[in-house]
Structure 1
Amino acid sequence: MLDAYFLKRVKLDQGLTNNTAAYRQLDPNSPVFLNKHGKPFPLLERPDKSGKIRYTCTSLSRLYSNLFSKAGIDGATAESGRRTFAVTLRRIGYDIPHIHTLLGNQNLKTTRRMLDSDPVDMGSIAAKAF
């Protein structure tokens, strides 16, 4: 789907560069996702419970939800996708600092909370005990 999206951006002349070495002529400084008018999605500032400012993009969140739905993954969000990515890496043996770097979280506690959300497979634990 990303490949098709990038081809469409080239066809629509959105976020391109004259640099012939750039991937598909896409400007590396351009946002990855653009709206139908070729403009970046707007970010909204929202304070969290502690008063810290968080940035959200409802349009992009809706886009992710639609992509997940088309892929047959109902109810998924960008955040649940990030959590699945983190948990999958941990299950196959990658360490927390590397997972943290890949996620780009500012705080290691955030990465640890994501990894703590991994549902434990009781059958697997029991099978290892016997």
Structure 2
Amino acid sequence: MAKQAKTLNQQELRRVLDYVATRKHSLRNRALITISMYSGMRCGEISNLLYSDVIDAEGKVRNEIRLRAEDTKTKEARTVFVSEKLQKELQQYAKVYKPKDANVKFIYSQKEDSDGFSPNTLCQLYFNIYKGAGLLNCSSHSGRRTFATEIANKGVSIRVLQKLLGHKNIQTTAIYVDANDDMLRKAVNLA
């Protein structure tokens, strides 16, 4: 079995966000990290988001993002619920990135005449951001696994988590949750 992507703790997330703040395209890259960490979306789903999927006609971040079937791994449409925390993060990005055409990719590429990132190039960007921040064993899936672990750590049922992640099989969802020391400590204190 392939090695799973590392889940990040709050210090490591802060480290990544501090790192991207010092780099070119800082708001875009912050949006990339936070959309993954706070929504659990897959890299391919993020790369296919259109500006209009995320931002409404008034320029506000939507509280729900509707993923098209052709853009999901399972080929089934689903709704991603956007937390207030993520809405604030994405609103900062939307204040700066205002394309004339709302049907362009939400995550822009700096390449001229580009249609945004492909899933593969976006996955590479995630890897390079984590590597630049000095975090090993991280990938585009780290945000998704961190999201799953954080939600599970707060006591959300695995069935709800399955729906949030868009998994067909609940056993797949169970693999995502990283049983860390904090979770184990809380569990024994319930007895």
TM-score (norm 2): 0.41
Residue 116 of structure 2: aligned partner: 40
Aligned length: 106
Matches within 5 A, 1:87-106: 87-106=149-168
- Partners of 2:120 and 2:51 in 1: CA distance: 25
- Partners of 1:93 and 1:28 in 2: CA distance: 38
Matches within 5 A, 1:81-120: 81-115=143-177, 117-119=178-180
Residue 21 of structure 1: aligned partner: 58
Instruction: Structure 1: give runs of 5+ residues left out of the alignment.
Output: 7-14, 43-56
Which ranges of 4 or more aligned residues in structure 1 deviate by more than 4 Å?
A: 26-29
- Partners of 2:152 and 2:141 in 1: CA distance: 17
CA contact (8 A) 1:86 1:114 kept: yes
Cα RMSD (Å)? 3.9
Q: Deviations over 1:52-87 (max 9, x none)?
A: xxxxx3211110112223444232112132112211
- Larger relative contact order (C-alpha < 8 A, sep ≥ 6)? 2
Q: Displacement of 1:16 after TM fit?
A: 7.0
Indicate how the Cα distance of structure 1 residues 31 and 16 shifts in structure 2: closer, same or farther if over 3 A, else same: closer
TM-score (norm 1): 0.55
Instruction: Report sequence identity in percent.
Output: 25
